[in-house]
Structure 1
Amino acid sequence: MGNGSQTKRVAILSSPEYKKCREKISEGLDLIGFDETLRGKKVLLKVNLLSARSPESCVTTNPLFVRAVAELFLGRGAEVSVGDSPASVSTSVAGYASGISQVCKELGIPLLDFDDPVQIVFDEGTYRSFLISKPVLETDLLINLPKLKTHALTRVTLGVKNLFGCVPGAKKQGWHFRVRNMKEFSKMLLDLAVHLKADLTVIDGINGMDGNGPSNGRIIKPGIIGMSRDVFALDDAIAELFGVNHSKVPILQIARDRGLVGDYDIVGDEVHPEKLLLPETNFIGVYGAAIPRRIVTKFPKIDRERCRSCRVCENACPAKAIDINRFAIDYNKCITCYVCHELCPEDAIVFTRRLFK
């Protein structure tokens, strides 16, 4: 990842509409010096396919964005594939709803389901053992295509967070149960990103989401594309651009503290998006102590009027704390991972403060 001893470059480009994003992405590749020889190489586009949502919902990487990147790499002679591992549905179902399956079909490239895990153990890091999808390990270049969004647990979900999708399907639930607070979860995500070494990250920020994301927040239209060969520098620059306080977002602050970000230059267009509205779940980042944590942390609650008893939240809950038959959450079990809120298709998980469980 990155440019060795050369200064890292982050490209920020203005792109108000998807119809012209291919030209801007091509411009960005030149600006950051991405000039690798690609002919005959396997290139995997790791998209955000969180769930079966339409492009208009701004939950998944937009299909026109995926098409633009795929066409650029196909044009350089690469063997391109697309993949992800949604938490609640199959990749094919999410791909169809998002429009990405149609793009893959038209371009004649495969849409891969990350359902073939391989255990990898690394020498360094807080968290060293991961189950990683086999196609991720077998590709020549890993191209990371996240969606610009906020996230109830990690506060923002950009390039680093998107790489969590390289952990297959239900295996992600195990991490939520094992790593039970925002700070430790962020450490795990950073370790994973260090190990995976994405060759390029291109953030779809043409349309995005803030507030209580990543699937039930407020749709925004910043009209930007962020690009870098260094995922940590890119996330840092995007957060700065949107006025995010790094000290309140562990995934950003810890990356700085570990020296993962370093110095970087910003190139491209001058843009001035509105400040990103962060989730209301844990507004000052308190961990550990029970009572202080409950004062500042909001817990999930089922909105009976919105709930359609689809049981997506119940099935996905790592702690098995949800009983849809009673519209109840057992707060003695709840680990506030917010997977229920993340995956609910009806926005039926709301947040409430609970001083006593």
Structure 2
Amino acid sequence: MDRRKFLNTSAKGAVALGASFVPPISLAASHPDIAVVKGAPGAATRAAVEMIGGMGSVVGKGHRVVIKPNMSFASGPEVGANTHPMVVQAIAAMCWEAGASSVLILDHTLAPGVLCLERSGVKAAAAAVKDDMVYMVNDSDHYSEVEIDGGKNLKETEIVKSVLRADVLIAAPTAKSHSGAGVSLSLKGMMGLIYDRGTLHWKGLDSCIVDLCTVLRADLSVIDGTHVLSTNGPRGPGKVLNENTVIASRDMVAADAQAVAEFTWYGKKFQPRQVAHIRHAHERGMGRMDIENLRVERLAL
């Protein structure tokens, strides 16, 4: 069920995904499931998306697009808490080039919104493509209540109205550690599109993340591994690894799994199955963490 059909069911909506959901696969045999590109953030983003089929395979003429980066903290990209602005700029530009009718770049910020938009660099970078794309969604009137049928721990939540109206949702997280979830990537990043995040922490964070992503399942994930915040996330400061890497996939679980395996976290290497919410998402049929069985292609620019 896409977001438009979801909205048409009722004012609250009802979603019944979960174990019956079929994991995404490559759209064509010529494209990999996951692209891993090393290079400057903007160029690497374009190359990674092109490798998996191009933005035209995700965004069609007239589509309304929402991009969800990390821009929740009042810090520059070198800290690793926010998505690199050139990654966001490249994604937005490709959406317009593919024929999108609207592109919104949204986050529910934790620090004061005006400072986040300025210091993250995202607003200025996006303005070089088109004005009026970047917004903080901190006020309750931005949200609609949504019931999550089949949710194990999270039965309802309030989601940004613009996201529910969107034809395409793109996850654009920075790769960073997280004190509660282990890592914060595409799946965890969807919490920035709901109003009450605190509830998820006491209801069981890992399961709630997966419940939420049965509704907020990204059509494309582009993970910014330019400056990986490998410790003391999500805010930092912590140990930052300058990996200069971008990961792209149509499968948000696979993208997150690749990022876990690709980088060092807390001074150690981990397997995707060791991150509970990634494992749960795989087990519930939302995507694949078994990246050893997927086609992964690499490129150095």
Class of the TM-score when normalised by the shorter of the 2 chains: 0.7 to 0.9
Q: Secondary structure at the match of 2:257?
A: helix
Equivalent-residue separation in structure 1 for 2:69 and 2:23 (angstroms): 26
Q: Is the 8 A contact 1:201 1:227 kept in 2?
A: yes
Q: Is the 8 A contact 2:24 2:251 kept in 1?
A: no
Q: Secondary structure at the match of 1:222?
A: strand
Question: Residues 29 and 256 (structure 1 numbering): CA distance in 2 closer, same or farther, change over 3 Å?
Answer: closer
Match of residue 275 from structure 2: 249
Matches within 5 A, 1:22-37: 22-30=45-53, 35-36=57-58
Q: Is the 8 A contact 1:47 1:84 kept in 2?
A: yes
Q: Is the 8 A contact 1:18 1:65 kept in 2?
A: yes
Question: Residues 10 and 218 (structure 1 numbering): CA distance in 2 closer, same or farther, change over 3 Å?
Answer: farther
Aligned amino acid, residue 63 of structure 1: P
1:268 lines up with 2:293 in the alignment: no
Equivalent-residue separation in structure 1 for 2:254 and 2:49 (angstroms): 20
Equivalent residue pairs, number: 262
Equivalent-residue separation in structure 1 for 2:26 and 2:88 (angstroms): 28
Q: Is the 8 A contact 2:45 2:90 kept in 1?
A: yes
Question: Residues 35 and 3 (structure 1 numbering): CA distance in 2 closer, same or farther, change over 3 Å?
Answer: farther
Moved over 6 A (4+): 1-5
Which structure has more RCO (C-alpha within 8 Å, separation ≥ 6)?
A: 2
Aligned amino acid, residue 164 of structure 1: M
Match of residue 11 from structure 2: none
Question: Residues 97 and 37 (structure 1 numbering): CA distance in 2 closer, same or farther, change over 3 Å?
Answer: closer
Question: Residues 145 and 133 (structure 1 numbering): CA distance in 2 closer, same or farther, change over 3 Å?
Answer: same
Q: Is the 8 A contact 1:22 1:72 kept in 2?
A: no
Aligned amino acid, residue 266 of structure 1: R
Identity in percent: 24
Q: Could you say what the CA RMSD is over the residues aligned between the two structures, in angstroms?
A: 2.5
Matches within 5 A, 1:1-357: 6=25, 10-30=33-53, 35-36=57-58, 38-78=60-100, 79-90=102-113, 92-107=114-129, 108-114=131-137, 115=139, 116-126=142-152, 127-168=154-195, 171-176=196-201, 178-179=202-203, 184-216=204-236, 217-242=238-263, 243-246=269-272, 248-262=274-288, 265-269=294-298
Flag the structure with larger Rg.
1
Per-residue CA deviation, residues 159-216 of structure 1 (Å, 9 max, x unaligned), is 1001110113xx223433x32xxxx211000110121121111100122110222222
Q: Is the 8 A contact 1:12 1:224 kept in 2?
A: no
Q: After TM superposition, give the deviation of residue 237 of structure 1 in Å.
A: 2.6
Q: After TM superposition, give the deviation of residue 140 of structure 1 in Å.
A: 1.2
Q: Secondary structure at the match of 1:187?
A: helix
State TM-score, norm by structure 1. Answer: 0.67
Aligned amino acid, residue 117 of structure 1: Y
Equivalent-residue separation in structure 2 for 1:162 and 1:37 (angstroms): 21
